[in-house]
Structure 1
Amino acid sequence: MNQRYALFSALISLLLFSCRNGRYVSVSAATCHPDDESGLLAFKSGFTEDPSGMLSNWKPGTDCCQWSGINCRENNRVTTVTLNGQPDNPKSYLSGTFSPLLSKVQNLDGIYFQNLRNITGTFPRFVFDLPKLIYVYIENNKLSGPLPNDIGRLSRFGALSVTGNRFFGSIPSSISQLTQLGQLRLSNNLLTGPIPDGLRQLKTLTYLDLAGNRLSGKIPNFFNSFPDLLFLVLSRNKFTGGIPTSIASLAPKLINLELGNNQLSEKIPEFISNFKALDTLDLSSNQFSGVLPKSFKNLTKIFNLNLARNNLVDPFPDLAVKGIESLDLSYNKFKLGKIPKWVTSSTIIYSLKLAGCGIKMRLEDWKPSETFFYDFIDLSDNEISGSAVNLVNSTEYLVGFSASGNQLNFNLSDIKLPKTLKYLDLSKNQLFGSVPQSVVGLEKLNLSYNKLCGMIPANKFPAAVFAGNACLCRAPLSPCRRQ
């Protein structure tokens, strides 16, 4: 028995490892299926520019399972293709078209083509010819044309996202046949018309995102069809009417409700207060009116609340949140008087926008629990007096600070702008002193209509940025007078 075992072990070693003269190779180095290789190389040929070399190791005769973005399972068959550009790096984009010959890669179950930016053409028909395909994410490219009328043939799909392209026309009625979908994301395109009633058939949806289109009509009252919906994003369209009552059925599980930037009206319904799991609520830039329900204080888990630019009136309920991350109540008809205590006490807040909220206080009297995380602060168009020096100087990562149209009165030279700051608007106040050198590196600046004086540092800004100050001089304003 020991001799047989030794012989067997020696044979396995011979097969798995190279011998001393290097003539043997591991059996694991087998190349992928020839159909997969030819299909992927044909797909690569559709791209005209690849400045980052994303596909540089896609070469004939090499193992395509080792190529960038390729994943294989089961007998070395290619199952997913993942090509991701970096949104802030144009050199990571691809240019060209999606070749239909990708349909030769018959074992594909997922394609993820995201942020490639410069891919043109129509909706890729090859997805109809891939029998195992379930997950399709073709996001942030330049695909255009209508969505195919026979999109319902893709009934096996579990996820479909074509967000960030240029698809136009109506949502096809056959979309009602995609009954296995968990995610449907058609946002940031040019789609028009109403939401088709057949969408109610997609009962397994957890994520519905139709934002950033030109969809119109009333929001359908069919949301009791979606017992597992976690994200409902319909913002930046042209929807009218009120919030449909069936949305109340989503209360047990819904995490995100985003209906901002539409033409919705009426009052914000009482049932919104029942969304105990709600993390994000965006109803901004609509025509909602009246008083918020007192029961709004039940939204104890809310982290992101945006009610800006409506016609809401006092009193604003005293929320019992444990911590708010971002808040925007700007430009309603609120007269808050002071920044609410539940805002001041938050240790995780990074965005605070209370422009035009009837705040009348000295800024030094505001003592936030934490300023470290602040990215954006907008307190414009209130009656705030005093100095912003301590507030700005105590921030580490501030990106934007706006306090235009108040009664601030302090020496601008005393401010130490954080290195992260890009946007500063202190116009229409009573600032004095000189313009500090540190403003030169900002992307946007407005110091107009204050009491600043002296020589302006060399800068790239237009004259309007410094207008209305009695004795500022140097380009882009008038030259300084010689003493």
Structure 2
Amino acid sequence: MKKHLSLLLFVTLTLPCLNPVSAACHVNDETGLLAFKSAITADPSGLLTSWKKGTDCCTWSGINCFNNRVTMLSLSGQPDKPNSFLSGKISPSLSKLSFLNGLYLTNLRNLTGPFPDFLFRLPNIKYVYIEYSKLSGRIPDTIGNLTQLEALSFYYNSFTGPIPTTISRLTQLTQLKLGGNLLTGSIPYGIKNLKNLTYLTFERNGLSGPIPDFFASFSDLRILRLFGNQFTGKIPASISALAPKLAYLELGHNALTGPIPDFLGKFKALDTLDLGHNRLTGTVPKTLANLTKIFNLDLSHNQLVDPFPQLNVRGIESLDLSYNSFHLKEIPKWVTSSPIIYSLKLANCGIKLKLEDWKPVQTYYYDYIDLSGNEITGSPIGLLNKTDFLVGFWASGNKLKFNLESLRIVQTLKHLDLSRNLVFGKVPSTVSGLDRFNVSYNHLCGPIPATKFPASAFLGNDCLCGSPLAPCKKA
């Protein structure tokens, strides 16, 4: 009897060793995933290193399972790591993952090929994010058959052609992200049927025509990004229906005309308003004073006129009012008092002040300051020498007067334009680390240090010499 018990105990203890771990992974899922891996031609950072035949695919990197079936495939490159990508095509063998609920292939950069037709053979797929890669060709009309989808993103690929009208059948969508492609034509009016949308983006395409006036349908929309297209006409009146929840309204870099609507003052949840680089006219509505939560405001490159209203923001992060017909005279007080501002662009805004008299609450976090084309006097040394993260400073066409050698060139600084001022002294060698530099038409003198900048960066000074200008005269 003891002998039989010992044998039974031995068999029980050794069964897990005799039974391969891969039993936890369905054969179809393993086959589909390994075929996906075999279609990848480069994986320099080893994203798929753990994908080995005969091991449990539910333990592989980027794989989630439920009841031993693969329900999620999630692979992501890291934008700040150059070798963190995958090259190759997305294998249609992923259609074998019949329980797949979510497909997330983001920042992989080098995935190529057409629209992934295998999606039509995945009965449980609800979330598709294939972002920042190189898929191309047209989005097929059959996309309208994926009626179970709740999120669809082909953000920043290379798809061409029109947005299929059949996309209006995807009524379960909460997110539709087609920004950053090469899509053309107009926005299909039928998209008004997607009433559950919280996130809609078509930015940076080649879309044209008027923006459809159908936004009354979208009671839950929080993000609307249509910038970087060729849209014409006025800002649609129905956008006013988005006021309760919309946090991001980005319509910049189009060809929109007409006034800025008064109704924007009702958007009390607004974080970002981008209307820059259009053809908007008239005055900025006083109602914008109601936008107390706004952090990012861009009205630049329009045809807007005085007066500019006093805003009641708690703290602005980035502001761009450049290149309109404003005569602000001073930098607004609500800008000066902001504890969090990192980008201030007020080029050609009719500002008249002595720069030493401007005393912002914080300068430490400034990344970008553009004060070009104003009537600003004095020296920027006190301001700029307090910034540790400055990336760009543009102040051409003013009356700044200071010794250039007194300027601290921080490591982060890449763009410096002081052309057409009253700057004197020598050009310090520290400017060689900049990407762009212009001190033309000032009162600088002496030899130019070794730099990569063209002669146009140094022309019109009192006595600068040396390459790329004429050689210095020998004493």
Give the shorter-chain TM-score range: over 0.9
Letter in 1 for 2:434: L
- Contact in 1 for aligned 2:21/2:54 (Cα 8 Å): no
- Contact in 1 for aligned 2:20/2:54 (Cα 8 Å): no
For residues 399 and 59 of structure 1, the distance between their equivalents in structure 2, rounded to whole angstroms, comes to 46
For residues 479 and 59 of structure 1, the distance between their equivalents in structure 2, rounded to whole angstroms, comes to 65
Q: 1:182 aligns with which of 140, 153, 174?
A: 174
Please state how far the C-alpha of 1:52 moved relative to its aligned partner.
1.7
The residue that corresponds to 1:6 in the other structure is none
Please state how far the C-alpha of 1:27 moved relative to its aligned partner.
10
For residues 80 and 249 of structure 2, the distance between their equivalents in structure 1, rounded to whole angstroms, comes to 28
For residues 135 and 407 of structure 1, the distance between their equivalents in structure 2, rounded to whole angstroms, comes to 56
Q: 1:56 aligns with which of 23, 40, 49?
A: 49
Query: More deviation in 257-266 or 52-61?
Result: 52-61
For residues 29 and 39 of structure 1, the distance between their equivalents in structure 2, rounded to whole angstroms, comes to 14
SS, match of residue 249 in structure 1: helix
SS, match of residue 175 in structure 1: helix
Say whether residues 1:137 and 2:137 are aligned partners.
no
Deviation track 1:152-210 (CA, whole Å, cap 9, x = no partner) reads 11111111010111111111111111000000000011111111111010000000001
Q: 1:66 aligns with which of 59, 63, 69?
A: 59
- Contact in 1 for aligned 2:322/2:347 (Cα 8 Å): yes
- Contact in 1 for aligned 2:240/2:263 (Cα 8 Å): yes
Please state how far the C-alpha of 1:320 moved relative to its aligned partner.
0.6
For residues 368 and 232 of structure 2, the distance between their equivalents in structure 1, rounded to whole angstroms, comes to 31
For residues 294 and 235 of structure 2, the distance between their equivalents in structure 1, rounded to whole angstroms, comes to 19
Say whether residues 1:312 and 2:304 are aligned partners.
yes
The residue that corresponds to 1:400 in the other structure is 392
For residues 341 and 22 of structure 2, the distance between their equivalents in structure 1, rounded to whole angstroms, comes to 52
Q: 1:200 aligns with which of 189, 192, 196?
A: 192
Give the superposed CA RMSD.
Answer: 2.0
The residue that corresponds to 1:148 in the other structure is 140
For residues 327 and 25 of structure 1, the distance between their equivalents in structure 2, rounded to whole angstroms, comes to 67
The residue that corresponds to 1:46 in the other structure is 39
Letter in 1 for 2:440: S
Letter in 1 for 2:345: K
Q: 2:215 aligns with which of 208, 223, 230?
A: 223
For residues 263 and 137 of structure 1, the distance between their equivalents in structure 2, rounded to whole angstroms, comes to 30
Please state how far the C-alpha of 1:92 moved relative to its aligned partner.
1.4
For residues 298 and 45 of structure 2, the distance between their equivalents in structure 1, rounded to whole angstroms, comes to 39
Letter in 2 for 1:164: Y
Say whether residues 1:323 and 2:320 are aligned partners.
no
Deviation track 1:344-370 (CA, whole Å, cap 9, x = no partner) reads 000000100000101011111100001
Runs of 5+ unmatched residues, structure 2: 1-7
For residues 463 and 223 of structure 1, the distance between their equivalents in structure 2, rounded to whole angstroms, comes to 52
Aligned length: 468
Q: 2:285 aligns with which of 293, 302, 306?
A: 293
For residues 261 and 206 of structure 2, the distance between their equivalents in structure 1, rounded to whole angstroms, comes to 25
Say whether residues 1:169 and 2:176 are aligned partners.
no
Please state how far the C-alpha of 1:25 moved relative to its aligned partner.
9.2
1:57-456 matches, cutoff 5 A: 57-72=50-65, 74-456=66-448
SS, match of residue 264 in structure 1: strand
For residues 451 and 83 of structure 2, the distance between their equivalents in structure 1, rounded to whole angstroms, comes to 29
For residues 166 and 306 of structure 2, the distance between their equivalents in structure 1, rounded to whole angstroms, comes to 46
TM-score by length of 2: 0.95
For residues 65 and 349 of structure 1, the distance between their equivalents in structure 2, rounded to whole angstroms, comes to 46
The residue that corresponds to 2:3 in the other structure is none
SS, match of residue 111 in structure 2: strand
Structure 1: 4+ residue segments shifted above 3 A: 22-31
SS, match of residue 37 in structure 2: helix
Please state how far the C-alpha of 1:56 moved relative to its aligned partner.
2.0
SS, match of residue 288 in structure 1: strand
For residues 464 and 18 of structure 2, the distance between their equivalents in structure 1, rounded to whole angstroms, comes to 77
Letter in 2 for 1:226: F
Deviation track 1:405-462 (CA, whole Å, cap 9, x = no partner) reads 1111100000112211111111111110011121111111111111111122212222
The residue that corresponds to 2:4 in the other structure is none
SS, match of residue 41 in structure 1: helix
Please state how far the C-alpha of 1:109 moved relative to its aligned partner.
0.9
The residue that corresponds to 1:7 in the other structure is none
- Contact in 1 for aligned 2:173/2:196 (Cα 8 Å): yes
Query: More deviation in 287-296 or 386-395?
Result: 287-296
For residues 311 and 179 of structure 2, the distance between their equivalents in structure 1, rounded to whole angstroms, comes to 32
Please state how far the C-alpha of 1:28 moved relative to its aligned partner.
8.1
- Contact in 1 for aligned 2:156/2:181 (Cα 8 Å): yes
For residues 63 and 396 of structure 1, the distance between their equivalents in structure 2, rounded to whole angstroms, comes to 50
The residue that corresponds to 2:28 in the other structure is 35
Runs of 5+ unmatched residues, structure 1: 1-10
- Contact in 1 for aligned 2:348/2:371 (Cα 8 Å): yes
Deviation track 1:9-35 (CA, whole Å, cap 9, x = no partner) reads xx99x97xx89xx99599988541111
Mark the CA change 1:52 to 1:84 in structure 2 (over 3 Å): closer, same or farther.
same
Letter in 2 for 1:32: C
Query: More deviation in 161-170 or 86-95?
Result: 86-95
